[in-house]
Amino acid sequence: MNLLISKIKEVKTSQWFFWGTIALFTIAHVLIYALMPYSCDDYWYMTPLRDYCMGIDTSFPAEELWKCWTAHYQYDNIRLANVVFTFTLLIPKIIPSIISGLLVGVILWLSSKLSGLSWRNPLLLMLLTFMLTFMLPWYEEMFTQCYALNYIWSTALALWLAHLFFFKENPPHYIISALIGLVMGAWHEGIAGPLFVGFVAYLLINRRAVNRQRVAMTIGLVSGLIWLAIAPGTQSKMGYTISSLDIYAIVYKLVLYHSPLLILSLSILIALIKKDTRKLVADPVFVAFVAMCVTGSALNFITNIGVRTGWMGYVFGIISIIYLWRNMKVARYGRGKSIQKRIVTIAVALFLLTHYIVVVYYTINIRAEYDKVMVEYDKSPDGQVFADVTYDYQVSPLAWKKPYFEMFTYDLIMNWYEEYHNSGVKDMRVIPTCLRDAENLDAVKVKGDNPFMIYNGHLFAPIKDDETIKDAVYEIDFGPTKKVLACSNFVFTTKSGNKYYFCFPQRATVHLWIGEIEEMNRERSH
């Protein structure tokens, strides 16, 4: 009897741990999305709808929406994600924010289902949660509303379709299957493309799985993809988004960003070496998952618009790893469970909890800073604002570049702010408050071929009489590391009336975590 009671308690504890993990993961992301302000592409789409987003005009903007969609159809893309996104701009931001946060939780839950996990394996659940937390490019504006609809909403939809396709003996009626496939295909090509490859691979390997529903879902997917592909905007972007094959660039991206693909490759190698696990690699579902991982990763390897293009590769790389590990009985709980596994499980859980507490803390700070900057920008006669905002390199590594710290360090992003708030009349520049008195600071000259002085980590330089200030590229020595980085330059006037400019090196986060700027030399090729 005592043994039975012990088993019941253990089951309840494991179930509570499983659902508690998903609940806390969800709550953390609901808070982040709810707290984050609009930014980046949000403003790009909001500007044509300015009066409606600001509440000045309360009628339904049918004409403006149509103009917005047709313009993007011609010059950008006509993803269903962005069509739905424009509607979410007309309602209180809290509503789509809550939906986005909830869908992040759905992604974890569906990933566990696709991986074959249950509450009986808390360690693998923790590892899955850890991978989804740190191995996806969240830092690429994934906490903006626009990108949430493009990547978070589409991933939840894709994982649901994958679950219906691979694990339901009888998916929905073929007409319904075709329709949801069409919606997925037209929602985002970067998500639907790898999914289509995985579906086709599965049907080719497992002919017994071929039925009207799965075929209809696959046809729906490809139909949506064709719709996106024929859009003039999609075709015009192909020229500058597709880069020539560069082995060095591919290896660089693979090593630096695609840890799921690397871990998956090593896991497959280990499975092939062991005789009793060799057959697992030929599992049709696993092959389909790997096909989606490789296809998604390849999209990133051949494009030059950011690592987010490989989003589906990261997601299904992670799912493939956990799926294989579960079948290989890696970290399995059972009669052979050990205290070491429990310690690792609890340690990972506590680390993730700390991570999200830190991220939510910074998100609250970012929101307060954003609100203050926007108030000061509205008051400023020329767009110049002195304010201390949190830069990504000032953030604890515990947050790992979350949520998003680059709202006031990119010209393009601030141009969208300007267009929305002041029709581009005032040139926004957010300058550290200490530089208000730049000429009187006890600053140090930076070594090398550059004009900069540095004070409290901030680079600045005086402007000569007729000097035109443009963004530049420098080779920067951080002590332990060296890197060629683009630097954004922002002109400002001190309280004494002198002209200076503030320089911000882009993508220097990790370098500044472990070192300081010691020398800067202009990159000669630029």
For residues 179 and 127, give the distance between their C-alpha atoms in angstroms, rounded to a whole number: 34
For the record, the structure tokens of 235 come out as: 């075709």
Cα 104 from chain centre: 12
- Please identify which residue in the block is written with the tokens 């006037």: 493
Cα–Cα–Cα angle for 358, 361, 367, nearest 5°?
140
Residue 7 has pLDDT above 80, yes or no: no
Q: Residues for the chain: how many in total? A: 526
For residues 473 and 493, give the distance between their C-alpha atoms in angstroms, rounded to a whole number: 23
Q: Do 289 and 319 contact (CB within 8 A), yes or no? A: yes
Lowest mean pLDDT across 98-112, 166-180, 331-345: 331-345
160-200 per-position pLDDT tens digit: 999 999 998 888 899 999 999 999 999 999 999 999 999 99
Residue 475 has pLDDT above 90, yes or no: yes
For residues 162 and 166, give the distance between their C-alpha atoms in angstroms, rounded to a whole number: 6
204-235 per-position pLDDT tens digit: 999 999 999 999 999 999 999 999 999 888 87
Mean pLDDT, range 21-42, rounded to an integer: 96
DSSP code for 86: H
Dihedral sign for Cα atoms in the order 43, 45, 47, 52 = negative
Cα 148 from chain centre: 8
CA atoms within 13 A on the CB side of 467: 14
C-alpha distance from residue 160 to each of 35, 164, 168, 307 (Å): 27, 6, 11, 24
- Please identify which residue in the block is written with the tokens 């696709």: 114
According to the model, what pLDDT value does residue 10 have?
A: 56
257-303 per-position pLDDT tens digit: 999 999 999 999 999 998 888 999 999 999 999 999 999 999 999 88
299-336 per-position pLDDT tens digit: 999 887 889 999 999 999 999 999 999 998 875 555 44
